[in-house]
Amino acid sequence: MELLEMMKVRRSIRKYTAQPVEREKLEKIVEAGLYAPNPGGRQGTKIVILDDPELIDRIGVINANCENRNWGGRGVSAEQPSIIDDLSIKSGFYGCTALGIVCVNKSFAGAVNGIGSAFVVAENMVLEAMDLGVSSCIVGRAGATFEQPGMAELLGEWGLGEDAQPVVFVCLGYIDGAYPKIKEREEGRAFFITKE
């Protein structure tokens, strides 16, 4: 599929089968993330990949509990309901079978471009996943999730060191059910300022 077409077709998927994502695909998705643009050419991000559904679920519940789910912001997606659309969903990672955690160095995270650098990594991962037939959903609140009891220790266990600050999650897996349609874009969001 042409890149622009793929960007239009991609949707956030929140219903997954139990089928694991193949290791080769995960490696390509990570490679795409590592090649994202990065402020100052510093390559200041790290990517963790988890493929243990139990562990993913455990962290997903903590993630969901970090969100104020009663803020009244319903209507994210009728076909692929989010944790704020459907309060019965327990895990903020929706049963995905692999999870990317994009981290930046703490010293860098506070800087203007620190957080942004993690999100461009996530977007590269999502697009590569799409190209490989793997569905995905970007999920926020990684900072808050890793501030919960027992969570910071995991980063040490995984060998990331003290400086790693989780910023964003990327849920990965195979869609359960029909792929949602393209979401049409609102008018008036683009401005071309031409010289004549």
| Residue closer to ligand FMN (CB basis): 124 or 192 | 124
Q: Least distance in Å: CB of 162 to ligand FMN?
A: 25
Q: Report 167-196 residues binding ligand FMN (CB under 6 A).
A: 183
Q: Least distance in Å: CB of 183 to ligand FMN?
A: 5
82 binds ligand FMN (CB under 6 A): yes
CA distance 59 to 53: 10
Interface stretch with ligand FMN, choices 6-14, 17-25, 28-36, 51-59 (CB under 6 A): 6-14
154 binds ligand FMN (CB under 6 A): no
**Beta carbons of 100 and 30 less than 8 angstroms apart:** yes
| Residue closer to ligand FMN (CB basis): 3 or 162 | 3
Q: Report 111-140 residues binding ligand FMN (CB under 6 A).
A: 137-140
Q: Least distance in Å: CB of 24 to ligand FMN?
A: 25
46 binds ligand FMN (CB under 6 A): no
Residue 192 burial by CB count (10 A; 0-12/13-18/19+): exposed, middle or buried? exposed
Q: By the criterion CB under 6 A, which residues form the site for ligand FMN? A: 11-12, 14, 76-77, 82, 137-141, 183
